[in-house]
């Protein structure tokens, strides 16, 4: 899976580099509210790609942080349950076996069948 990611990264980087170099000399007007700079299309593509990558990194980091907190909470819960299981007595419960709900009083499981 790592090799697939490396190959995809190389392909996307190559396509981006080709797009940037082909469009480096083409100026386009960019309108941001009241500011209207003329930026080359290649730099605009590179900027858009970099901002998208930055947003993906930030979202991934937040998700990883949340997963780490959840994992810590679950590990504490497992330790608590293991401690409770170690402290619980392993002796059988007092009293007779409790019949299953809906079972009639004579146990028919040991009666011969009529085949």
**What does the pLDDT read at residue 64?**
95
CB distance 39 to 54 below 8 Å:
no
pTM of the predicted protein model: 0.55
**What does the pLDDT read at residue 92?**
59
**Nearest to residue 24, comparing CAs of 39, 38, 42, 37?**
42
* Residue 67, strand partner residues: none
Residues of the chain with pLDDT under 50: none
* DSSP structural state of residue 80: H
**What does the pLDDT read at residue 58?**
95
**What does the pLDDT read at residue 11?**
92
> What's the CA angle centered on 91, arms 85 and 96, to 5 degrees?
125
Cβ burial 8-37 (10 Å sphere, 16+ → b, else e): eeeeeeeebeeebeebeeeeeeeeeeeeee
Give the C-alpha distances (Å, rounded to integers) separating 58 from 49, 66, 83: 14, 12, 38
Residues 112, 115: Cα–Cα separation, whole Å:
9
Residues 107, 97: Cα–Cα separation, whole Å:
13
**What does the pLDDT read at residue 93?**
60
């Amino acid at each position: 899976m790592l090799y697939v990611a490396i190959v995809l990264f190389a392909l996307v980087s190559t396509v981006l580099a080709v797009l940037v170099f082909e469009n480096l000399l083409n100026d386009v007007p960019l309108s941001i509210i009241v500011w209207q700079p003329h930026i080359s299309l290649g730099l605009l593509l590179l900027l858009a790609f970099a901002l998208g990558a930055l947003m993906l990194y930030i979202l991934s980091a937040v998700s990883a942080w949340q997963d780490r907190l959840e994992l810590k909470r679950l590990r504490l819960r497992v330790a608590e349950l293991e401690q409770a299981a170690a402290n619980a007595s392993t002796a059988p419960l007092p009293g007779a076996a409790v019949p299953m709900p809906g079972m009639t009083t004579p146990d028919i499981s040991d009666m011969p069948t009529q085949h």
